[in-house]
Structure 1
Amino acid sequence: MMTGRYDPNNIFTKIISGDIPSHNVYEDEICISIMDIMPESKGHVLVIPKAGARNLIDVDPADLAELIKRVQKIAVAVKKTMHADGILLRQSSEEVAGQTVYHLHFHIIPCYAGKQNNKHVTNATMNEELAETAALIKAAI
């Protein structure tokens, strides 16, 4: 099962509490969705549950069922707003799978025919651009 313990002092809990600023796209009692500051493509967002779980392996199934409804809703808005040809949905569980923040989260990444996405965590985007994109996606939700 789980290979590590959940640390409630991770960066995402600090974003959820408002201790670290973010560009919010969506928020309710279940989750917060924010712009990824190092996007793989323009419009790359993260959906983060407010309930603490290390990853997919240890999340409560009822929490996951509610979360995935929001993931779909936000993915639809991202695809529409960004005029994407498709959406890449990614969730990494444990380091060997690429997980770097040990709080469950889903990546929603717009994809385009004939265009390769950036590599994960390589290019930071300016705050102004993130804010503009967040406002567009938020308006579509």
Structure 2
Amino acid sequence: MSNCVFCAIVDGSAPARIVYSDDDVVAFLDIRPIRPGHTLVIPREHHARLDTLPPELGGKMFAAAQRIGTAMQQAPVGSGRTIADGVNLALNDGRAAFQTVFHSHIHVVPRLRGDRISLAKGLVLRRDPDPDATADRLRAALEEVAGER
């Protein structure tokens, strides 16, 4: 789709901090993260909503999100060098569900025990003081997890 920012990221015409990529999906840091390391997993093919997303491609997105979430829980990702205690996976489908970019995507948000961040509040106060370092740490964590398989 010509005016889709996520399609532009896939084709390389828009900048992004890519942390994972394969033949079917691309994952990159959210430009307005709820927490440092907040990553979006998108299909390379444009699918605006769930109703057009083939289930097998959705499965590949989920598998990539699972891999990223696992990496976040095994190696430090954020600037505090803290390993996530858990992750939130979220897919917003439609304007009423707060979807703002109409290219299906899964949010992978690292969480710390007691971080007291609600997703609603996090949507308002979104920032990462050093996203380049966060992307480097997340790529390293993914490589570490891949080496363990």
TM norm. shorter chain > 0.5: yes
* Contact 2:35 2:126 survives alignment (8 Å): no
Q: Distance in 2 between matches of 1:116 and 1:43?
A: 17
* Contact 1:43 1:109 survives alignment (8 Å): yes
Residues 123-134 of structure 1 aligned to structure 2 (within 5 Å): 123-126=126-129, 129-134=130-135
Structure 2: gaps of 5 or more residues = 77-82, 143-149
- Please give the per-residue CA displacement for 1:51-100, whole angstroms capped at 9, x wherever unaligned: 11112232011211222211111111122233111100010000001100
Q: Percent identity?
A: 30
* Contact 1:25 1:33 survives alignment (8 Å): yes
Q: Distance in 1 between matches of 2:39 and 2:73?
A: 11
- TM normalised by structure 2 equals 0.82
Counterpart of 1:93 in structure 2 is 93
The yes-or-no answer on 1:63 pairing with 2:57 is: yes
* Contact 1:39 1:121 survives alignment (8 Å): no
Counterpart of 1:48 in structure 2 is 42
The letter for the 1-side match of 2:123 is H
Structure 1: gaps of 5 or more residues = 1-6
- TM normalised by structure 1 equals 0.86
Q: Secondary structure at the match of 1:73?
A: helix
* Contact 1:48 1:105 survives alignment (8 Å): yes
Over the residues paired in the alignment, what is the CA RMSD in angstroms? 1.6
The yes-or-no answer on 1:105 pairing with 2:105 is: yes
Q: Which has the higher helix share?
A: 2
The letter for the 2-side match of 1:134 is A
Counterpart of 1:3 in structure 2 is none
| TM-aligned CA distance change 1:31 to 1:86, over 3 Å | same
Q: 1:18 aligns with which of 3, 12, 21?
A: 12
- Please give the per-residue CA displacement for 1:25-62, whole angstroms capped at 9, x wherever unaligned: 01111111101111111111111110111122320112
Counterpart of 2:69 in structure 1 is 75
The letter for the 2-side match of 1:114 is G
Aligned pair count reads 133
